[in-house]
Amino acid sequence: MGPPELQIFNTMSKKKELFKPRVEGEVGMYVCGVTPYDFSHIGHARAYVAFDVLHRYLIYLGYRVKYVRNFTDIDDKIIKRANDSGEDPLSLSARFSQFFLEDMAELQCAPPTDEPHVSDHIDQIKDMVTKIIENGCGYVIDGDVYFSVDNFPDYGRLSGRKLDDNRAGGGGRVSVDLRKRNPADFALWKSAKPGEPWWESPWGPGRPGWHIECSAMSSHYLGHAFDIHGGGKDLAFPHHENELAQSCAACPESHVSYWMHNGFVNKDNQKMSKSDNNFFTIRDIIAKYHPLALRFFLMRTHYRADVNYSDRQLDTASDRVFYIYQTLYDCEVALSNFREGSLGDKIPADVKELINNFHTGFLASMSDDLHTTAVLDDLMELLKAINNNLKKFKGKKQQQALIYALIALEKEVKDALSTLGLLSSTPAKVLNQLKAKALERAGLTEEEVQQQIEGRALARKNKEFEKSDQIREELYVKGIALMDEPKGTIWRPCEPPEKQSEEVPNSDTSKPESSASAPTTPV
């Protein structure tokens, strides 16, 4: 029996629906990209990690995916920032576009098939605006072109908003133009103003409005009808509502089968955004935490739900990622001389059952609108099984059952991590990176920690146990856990205890089995 059929929540119908692509075996997906005028914040990371998971899972299911994610490199905010700094707007947006791509690579987001820029698609935009005017849904005033919502009866069907409820100006990016026929009409083309980039057009020199570029580029790369259109839930209105209206006004055959929207990242239960100046950039976070910890944190909450940011949750995520990679490293070391080709029926029955149950649950959870939270919980059972088998493992060839069990468990864990975008580099390298980030958060160097370890060893030798306990506790409070091994004391990152005692909404408070007794982390 094959995997369960994929169900995804469609914003248009407000319910989960069975996913059926327009062309069998192929998926066309468009996700609204960034407006690159500053470093991207973790709200952006939330969106693009969510749709990267979808992208990866569709490929895992065997689909050929054409994934398009744009750069809105012409925008009022870009122009204002560029004018304030004395920089060319397209140069500024190109610079921050490159920073965004670097951030996405850090977060293990696979590159889309196409990453178009608005500035490279002015001709397609002008063609679409022309069609909208010809079809009676656009009008020109002194070089500006507006979309007439009164002439498009279906306006509001995506968001469910009535026309009387719509915000004038098309979403707060621009002030109300009293020349418009209806305050809810929005700009398709803006006439040139001093200090702004412009292009020639049938209506005079100017530049695109905010919404039209996505309609033009999605149809250019995917056709007028395609499968999935995604973005943050703040884009459902007005941006996606306006996109839908524009596309259908230009071409009545335009159709998106599934509209998908991810939840916000909140700080103190308020949406994190640049305009409210209450955001952390991706670079702010990964300066202190491993990018995999940020990705894990974002995936711990279902993509459609809001997630509340806190350092405590990043500490928890970092601890989980360390546990995953410590387990993989320990397994890798134990199996270094025992790799096999085909396992066949050599896997012990109880381990085979555990793996089959996990795999069945993995497919069920992922096919249920990408329920990554459940998958990450279930993954811990496989990791515990690896550690339990490692405790029994003595490295002798006659223990073939344990060898086969570990190889099979390791493969299943890595396959799941790869599909989730959580498999990166070698375990040894990731562990060292995680330790470096822990030292950064603690404000310590490796040498200083070693000095503390030596000081504690001396205190214990002199039977100054209160002093040795104090050294250990002071490090623990800073997120550094000391572990006494047969060959000496080692350290690993941990969650600071005061943060473990807090209760934070949407957090996962269960802890995986410790890997403290496993072999030493590489240094």
Quickly state the pLDDT bin for 279 (edges 50, 70, 90).
confident
Please, what CATH class does the domain formed by 19-287 belong to? alpha beta
Token representation of residue 241: 């509502």
Q: Where are the domains of the chain?
A: 19-287, 310-425, 430-500
Mean pLDDT of 4-18: 97
Mean predicted lDDT score pLDDT of the chain: 90
- Give Dmax (Cα) for the chain: 90
pTM of the model: 0.91
Of 40-54, 76-90, 493-507, give the lowest mean pLDDT range.
493-507
Cβ atoms of 272 and 42 closer than 8 Å: yes
Mean pLDDT of 265-289: 83
Cβ atoms of 30 and 221 closer than 8 Å: yes
**pLDDT tens sequence across 128-143:** 999 999 999 999 999 9
**pLDDT tens sequence across 231-267:** 999 999 999 999 999 999 999 999 999 999 999 999 8
Element housing 493 (H / E): strand 488-493
Give which of 181, 231, 183 is closest to 211, Cα–Cα.
Answer: 231
What percent of the chain is predicted at pLDDT more than 70? Answer: 90
**What is the spatial distance between Cα 286 and Cα 428, in angstroms, rounded to a whole number?**
19
Quickly state the pLDDT bin for 461 (edges 50, 70, 90).
very high
Inter-axis angle of helices 349-367 and 400-420, nearest 10: 10
Cβ atoms of 290 and 314 closer than 8 Å: no
Of 1-15, 176-190, 337-351, 416-430, give the lowest mean pLDDT range.
337-351
Token representation of residue 234: 């703040």
Count of residues making up the chain:
523
**What is the spatial distance between Cα 211 and Cα 138, in angstroms, rounded to a whole number?**
14
Cβ atoms of 29 and 251 closer than 8 Å: no
The pLDDT of residue 148 is above 90: yes
Q: Determine how many CB atoms are found less than 10 A away from the CB of residue 18.
A: 8
Sheet holding 255-262, edge to edge: 64-69, 26-31, 225-232, 255-262
- pLDDT for 3 equals 74
| 29 burial level (CB within 10 Å; 0-12, 13-18, 19+) | buried
The pLDDT of residue 511 is above 80: no
- pLDDT for 30 equals 98
Q: What DSSP letter does each residue of 299-346 carry, written as one string?
A: HTS-TTS-EE--HHHHHHHHHHHHHHHHHHHHHHHHTTT---S--TT-
- pLDDT for 498 equals 62
Give which of 3, 88, 2, 1 is closest to 37, Cα–Cα.
Answer: 88
What is the rounded radius of gyration, in angstroms, for the C-alpha atoms of the chain?
Answer: 27
| Torsion sign (Cα): 262, 118, 196, 178 | negative
Of 148-152, 344-348, 471-475, 506-510, give the lowest mean pLDDT range.
506-510
Q: What end-to-end distance do the CA atoms of the chain give, in Å?
A: 45
- pLDDT for 346 equals 83
Interacting residues of 350 by C-beta distance below 8 A, sequence separation 6+: none
Of 15-29, 113-127, 266-280, 370-384, give the lowest mean pLDDT range.
266-280
**What is the spatial distance between Cα 67 and Cα 113, in angstroms, rounded to a whole number?**
5
- pLDDT for 504 equals 34
- pLDDT for 366 equals 98
- pLDDT for 500 equals 45
Token representation of residue 503: 């209760």
Token representation of residue 130: 């022309």
Give me the residues paired with residue 31 across strands: 69, 230
3-class SS of residue 15:
strand
Three-state secondary structure of 34-101: CCCCCCCEHHHHHHHHHHHHHHHHHHHCCCEEEEEECECCCCHHHHHHHHHHCCCHHHHHHHHHHHHH
Inter-CA distances, 72 with 121, 286, 443, 468, Å: 11, 25, 39, 57
Phi, psi of 509 (to 5 degrees): -95, -10
Phi, psi of 444 (to 5 degrees): -125, 160
**What is the spatial distance between Cα 180 and Cα 147, in angstroms, rounded to a whole number?**
9
Quickly state the pLDDT bin for 274 (edges 50, 70, 90).
low
